């Protein structure tokens, strides 16, 4: 049996982006996976984190593409106006 202490939930969250990007050393990644094997809360957090990243990427694929018909014109106008202010 492995008697090493598990990383904490806080440690997992602090380095989650590095883990997902494959930028953690293999020993540290193994600690993450070990923690995930016993912590349902962090498994759920990781799932939600991945979903948010995927949704964000999907929403930002092509800013110059025409808006879909199902979006209200007022919303499209507000987003475009805000985008112009940012640039």
Please check whether residue 80 lies inside any domain of the structure.
no
Residues 6+ apart with CB under 8 A from 63: 83
Say if 79 falls within a structural domain.
Answer: no
Q: How many domains does the chain have?
A: 1
Does some domain include residue 40?
yes
Per-residue pLDDT of the chain (87 residues; tens, 9 = 90+): 455 667 899 999 998 999 999 999 998 999 999 999 999 999 999 999 998 888 877 777 666 666 566 777 787 788 788 888 766
The pTM score is 0.61
């Amino acid at each position: 049996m492995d008697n090493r202490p598990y990383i904490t939930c806080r440690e997992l969250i602090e380095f989650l982006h590095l883990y997902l990007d494959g930028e953690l050393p293999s020993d540290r990644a193994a600690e993450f996976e070990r923690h995930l094997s016993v912590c349902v809360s962090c498994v759920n957090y990781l799932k939600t984190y991945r979903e948010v990243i995927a949704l964000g990427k999907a929403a930002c694929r092509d800013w110059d593409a025409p808006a879909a018909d199902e979006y209200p014109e007022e919303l499209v106008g507000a987003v475009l106006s805000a985008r112009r202010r940012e640039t």
